[in-house]
A and B are shown apart, each in its own frame.
Chain A
Amino acid sequence: MKKTLLALSLGLGLAVSGVAQAKTLVFCSEGSPEGFNPSLYSAGTTFDASSQTIFNRLVQFEAGSTKVVPGLAESWTASADGLEYTFNLRKGVKYHTTKDFTPTRDFNADDILFTFNRMWKEDHPYHDVSGGDYKYFGWMSMGDLLKSIEKVDDYTVKFTLNYAEAPFVSNMAMDFASVLSAEYGDELAASGNKDDIDHKPVGTGPFVFKSYQKDAMIRYTAHDDYWGGRSNIDKLVFAITTDANVRYQKLKAGECHVMPYPNPADVAAMDKDPEINLLRQEGLNVGYLAFNTEKPPFDQKLVRQALNMAINKQSILDVVFKGAGSIAKNPIPPTIWSYNDDVKDYDYDPEKAKAMLAEAGVSGLKTNIWAMPVQRPYNPNARRMAELIQADWAKVGVEAEIVTFEWGEYLKRSKNGEHDTVLLGWTGDNGDPDNFMYVLLGCDAAKDGGNRARWCNEEFDSTLRQAKKVTDQAQRTTLYEKAQVIFKEEAPWVTIAHSVVFKPVRKEVTGFKVHPLGSHIFYDGVDLK
């Protein structure tokens, strides 16, 4: 250990001497970004590298919470019927100056129109650039929701909606709504290099994009004229390191300052390391096992409850999450408002489960457990989880076969309901309970397959629909609390776990906060000692 420390301090000595003039923060990111325009992509990796560094949105999530705070809009108002939103834009916001672009004007309403019309209007000159597939814009049903976007004056924009949608302002804080530069767009269109808008990004954010080498690194420098004040960090580097073991190694060696997604197995050692601050926060996600309620015997509530009881969740938490998670009893994580803590989970009780299965007239049940081929925060190792569930179920006389498919195939087939039981999960987009419950358990979702339990409960569904229309949060809370009680009783899922997100950060980094929506933010008070 002493030796390690010595080598470490030597290594750091080298590092520090370089840092003396310019503060360089290295982030060992977990993969290559898909690109640099967040509206086209869906991976958190991409958002970290684009929306959280280069861009701003009209409104933003406060660092470390899901609270919506002013961004490029200084303030906003909603009409009484919830159909009109007016944003007052910030003045004097400067765009980045890069090798290829020098802005001649400040940010204004034209940029907002450019950004949203590109995603929305199929005849927009930029709509088809880079494939023209605006993922989150589609997923959040923005196309159906928007009626019009008007420029009232240079610094006022009005959004009119087709129907009242309580989470609209939160949507505007999501990564996909990052604001591009209309002037840059015009310039590229004139020179015939439209594609560059997504590869050589220009935004208003705290960091200016400098260079990218695929699978190796991304470099940024501080934006000197940032409207929120220049960042404390002079240079920001994303060192792309796909392997979690390796990221940890690099963090220990001082080759990077912050790393995401540690191996659950390494967390204990990180906690003990005096050079590392281990930050933790409950993740905004849920991992679950969904029963296909269309297939017997899973159409029986009793069977679903019994199989719930047959699973030793604590053991899953220990083995798969290595303690980096908490047992889930509700379909939404405890960090979301309206979480109903009065709901009681099914206890692990194989004897009772056996009896209940017998009562339901089920014996010698042969079934399958689908295990995802990919790693997700809500399920770090689905195969391992499936093996444990398989062993648990065997004890109550249920024989389950583990099935896996290539990821696209897995999603498609489970959407078509080919599974008996399937492991999956969800990570919240905007911190609204609707974004979990309606999307995953509503009757509409049962029809189009997003509801993997294919479970459509009249009472549950109407409660959710009601909560969508009401704008008063207290009223909505009551409704969602009621929905959670129905959900637990009916047991269409085995709610397994909410992950706890660990962020190991080196001691010399100060002010870094874990963001519940999963982004990594290096502005807002982050500094190096």
Chain B
Amino acid sequence: MTSLTAKTSYSVRSQQWREFWFYFSASKTAVAGLCFLIGVVLMAIFADVISPHLPAEQYRDFTEIPPAWMEGGQMRFFLGTDYAGRDMLSRIIHGARLSLIAGAIVVIMSASIGVLLGLVAGFQGGWIETIIMRVMDTIMAVPGLLMALVLVAVLGPGLLNAMVAIAITYTPSFVRLTRASTMTELNKDYVTASKVAGAGPMRLMFISILPNCMAPLIVQGTLSFSTAILDTAALGFLGMGAQAPLPEWGTLIAENRDLMLSAPWTVTFPGIAILLAVLAINLMGDGLRDALDPKLKRS
């Protein structure tokens, strides 16, 4: 009996997965985004191997060297160097690591807390729900970046604190989403069935209901991933995120901002890196949404 259910659910899952991939791969742009993202992830993982220099190594005789193709540029510093003679390319490659990890951790933190609170709010109702939702409303009443900024001011500037602050501002959207899905699912037959079968609230919440709300959560997670990278960079730019000499992309722009006119490459390339990474994730996110959201599937 048990093995039979397991088998069925396995084949259902694999069936779902195949269907998903069918729709996802139909979008060339989504696949392109995914490939690019995989590339960036690999770059981040193997940053030590592929970057030509150490990110913090200061070549003091080679400060503010322009990129290789510009007059005065050198092949060994392909994207040029910054004020202290550090190789921009190496810094950007290593920065990918920080930005991706920051984005991922923000999503994991906000999603896990948000889903938990959302499930509880949707499942329990009553005053617990009211409190949770009012707290979330309060967080949402203050613009996200401002909220994060003040939180970081409290916690102290730094990458970790920036991630925590951003995660807090992202939590309400996960809570709302999970709560809404939970409330829809609660009235469905299969939930009633498990209830009758005597499933406890934990089992109901996590085993029965949660898997069925996954699709919108995955889409929301992907979108949050890209905005988390943007917001981490924005905090870095304002001097409240990762602290120099850490090569986080936003921090790179901030630390070189006074060279904006005399050495524009120190500002341009980190920005392009942010833009491309975020664009790739968003392309992938669009594909995911189309593949997972049955309503939009055929439109």
Please tell me if A391 contacts chain B, counting CB pairs below 8 Å. yes
Q: Which residue of A lies closest to B86 (CB)?
A: A387
Please tell me if the beta carbons of B244 and A265 are within 8 angstroms of each other in the complex. no
CB-defined contacts of B243 to chain A, threshold 8 Å: 383, 402, 404
CB-defined contacts of B153 to chain A, threshold 8 Å: 406
CB-defined contacts of B74 to chain A, threshold 8 Å: none
Interface string of A248-266 (1 = CB under 8 A from B): 1000000000000001111
**Known contacts being A384-B83, A387-B84, A388-B84, is A265 close to B245, with CB within 8 Å?**
no
Dominant SS among interface residues on chain B: loop
CB distance from A516 to the nearest CB of B (A): 25
Please tell me if A65 contacts chain B, counting CB pairs below 8 Å. no
A309 to B260, CA, bound (A): 34
Please tell me if B259 contacts chain A, counting CB pairs below 8 Å. yes
Q: Which residue of A lies closest to B243 (CB)?
A: A404
Of A265, A318, A402, A404, the residue contacting B262 (CB under 8 A) is: A265
Please tell me if B258 contacts chain A, counting CB pairs below 8 Å. yes
CB distance from B274 to the nearest CB of A (A): 20
Interface residues of B in 256-277 (CB under 8 A from A): 257-263
Please tell me if the beta carbons of B84 and A265 are within 8 angstroms of each other in the complex. no
A104 to B84, CA, bound (A): 62
CB distance from B273 to the nearest CB of A (A): 21
Of A244, A268, A319, A404, the residue contacting B84 (CB under 8 A) is: A319
Interface residues of A in 262-285 (CB under 8 A from B): 263-266, 268-269
CB-defined contacts of B60 to chain A, threshold 8 Å: 315, 318-319
Please tell me if the beta carbons of A245 and B58 are within 8 angstroms of each other in the complex. no
Interface residues of A in 47-77 (CB under 8 A from B): none
Interface residues of A in 415-429 (CB under 8 A from B): none
Please tell me if the beta carbons of B84 and A384 are within 8 angstroms of each other in the complex. yes
Please tell me if the beta carbons of B156 and A387 are within 8 angstroms of each other in the complex. no
CB distance from A247 to the nearest CB of B (A): 12
CB-defined contacts of A263 to chain B, threshold 8 Å: 258
A383 to B258, CA, bound (A): 14
A264 to B259, CA, bound (A): 9
Interface residues of B in 198-255 (CB under 8 A from A): 239, 243-245, 255
CB distance from A225 to the nearest CB of B (A): 44
Q: Which residue of A lies closest to B83 (CB)?
A: A319
**Known contacts being A404-B243, A406-B156, is A245 close to B261, with CB within 8 Å?**
yes
A357 to B84, CA, bound (A): 27
Please tell me if the beta carbons of A266 and B262 are within 8 angstroms of each other in the complex. yes
Interface residues of A in 349-396 (CB under 8 A from B): 373, 381, 383-384, 387-388, 391
A268 to B258, CA, bound (A): 14
CB distance from A379 to the nearest CB of B (A): 14
A266 to B259, CA, bound (A): 8
Please tell me if the beta carbons of B260 and A319 are within 8 angstroms of each other in the complex. no
Please tell me if the beta carbons of B84 and A245 are within 8 angstroms of each other in the complex. no
Please tell me if the beta carbons of B258 and A319 are within 8 angstroms of each other in the complex. no
Please tell me if B63 contacts chain A, counting CB pairs below 8 Å. yes
CB-defined contacts of A388 to chain B, threshold 8 Å: 58, 84
CB distance from B282 to the nearest CB of A (A): 30
A149 to B257, CA, bound (A): 52
CB-defined contacts of B157 to chain A, threshold 8 Å: 404, 406
**Known contacts being A384-B83, A388-B58, is A319 close to B63, with CB within 8 Å?**
yes
Please tell me if the beta carbons of A265 and B258 are within 8 angstroms of each other in the complex. yes
Of B63, B244, B259, the residue contacting A383 (CB under 8 A) is: B244
A315 to B60, CA, bound (A): 8
CB distance from A139 to the nearest CB of B (A): 28
**Known contacts being A387-B84, A387-B245, A388-B58, is A245 close to B63, with CB within 8 Å?**
no
CB distance from B159 to the nearest CB of A (A): 14
Please tell me if the beta carbons of A387 and B260 are within 8 angstroms of each other in the complex. no
CB distance from B243 to the nearest CB of A (A): 7
Which interface residue of A248, A318, A384, A402 has the most chain B CB atoms within 10 A? A384
A391 to B86, CA, bound (A): 12
CB distance from B88 to the nearest CB of A (A): 16
CB distance from A320 to the nearest CB of B (A): 8
A248 to B262, CA, bound (A): 12
**Known contacts being A384-B83, A404-B243, A406-B153, is A266 close to B58, with CB within 8 Å?**
no
Interface string of B4-22 (1 = CB under 8 A from A): 0000000000000000000
A391 to B262, CA, bound (A): 25
Of A265, A315, A402, the residue contacting B259 (CB under 8 A) is: A265
CB-defined contacts of A268 to chain B, threshold 8 Å: 262
Q: Which residue of B lies closest to A403 (CB)?
A: B243
Please tell me if the beta carbons of B262 and A269 are within 8 angstroms of each other in the complex. yes
CB distance from A317 to the nearest CB of B (A): 12
Interface string of A5-34 (1 = CB under 8 A from B): 000000000000000000000000000000
Of B239, B244, B258, the residue contacting A244 (CB under 8 A) is: B258
CB-defined contacts of B244 to chain A, threshold 8 Å: 383-384, 387
CB distance from B92 to the nearest CB of A (A): 18
CB distance from A509 to the nearest CB of B (A): 23
Interface string of A480-523 (1 = CB under 8 A from B): 00000000000000000000000000000000000000000000
Interface string of A73-107 (1 = CB under 8 A from B): 00000000000000000000000000000000000
Please tell me if the beta carbons of B261 and A266 are within 8 angstroms of each other in the complex. yes
A315 to B259, CA, bound (A): 18
Q: Which residue of A lies closest to B245 (CB)?
A: A387
Please tell me if the beta carbons of A265 and B263 are within 8 angstroms of each other in the complex. yes
A318 to B58, CA, bound (A): 13
A265 to B84, CA, bound (A): 13
A391 to B85, CA, bound (A): 12
Interface string of A394-438 (1 = CB under 8 A from B): 000000001011100000000000000000000000000000000
CB-defined contacts of B239 to chain A, threshold 8 Å: 373
Interface string of B51-84 (1 = CB under 8 A from A): 0000000101001000000000000000000011
CB-defined contacts of B83 to chain A, threshold 8 Å: 265, 319, 384
CB distance from B151 to the nearest CB of A (A): 14
Q: Which residue of A lies closest to B256 (CB)?
A: A265
Please tell me if the beta carbons of A245 and B260 are within 8 angstroms of each other in the complex. yes
CB-defined contacts of A405 to chain B, threshold 8 Å: 156
Q: Which residue of B lies closest to A268 (CB)?
A: B262
CB-defined contacts of B84 to chain A, threshold 8 Å: 319, 384, 387-388
Of A245, A269, A318, the residue contacting B258 (CB under 8 A) is: A245
CB-defined contacts of B58 to chain A, threshold 8 Å: 387-388, 391
Q: Which residue of A lies closest to B244 (CB)?
A: A383
In order of increasing CB-CB distance, the 4 nearest A-B pairs are A265-B262, A263-B258, A265-B259, A387-B245
User: Can you add 15 more A-B contacts, CB < 8 Å, to A269-B261, A387-B244, A404-B157?
Assistant: A244-B258, A245-B258, A245-B260, A263-B258, A266-B261, A266-B262, A268-B262, A315-B60, A319-B60, A319-B63, A319-B84, A384-B84, A387-B58, A388-B84, A405-B156
Q: Which residues of A contact B (CB under 8 A)?
A: 244-245, 248, 263-266, 268-269, 315, 318-319, 373, 381, 383-384, 387-388, 391, 402, 404-406
Q: Which residues of B contact A (CB under 8 A)?
A: 58, 60, 63, 83-84, 153, 156-157, 239, 243-245, 255, 257-263
Q: What are some 5 contacts across the A-B interface (CB < 8 A)?
A: A245-B258, A318-B63, A373-B239, A381-B258, A405-B156
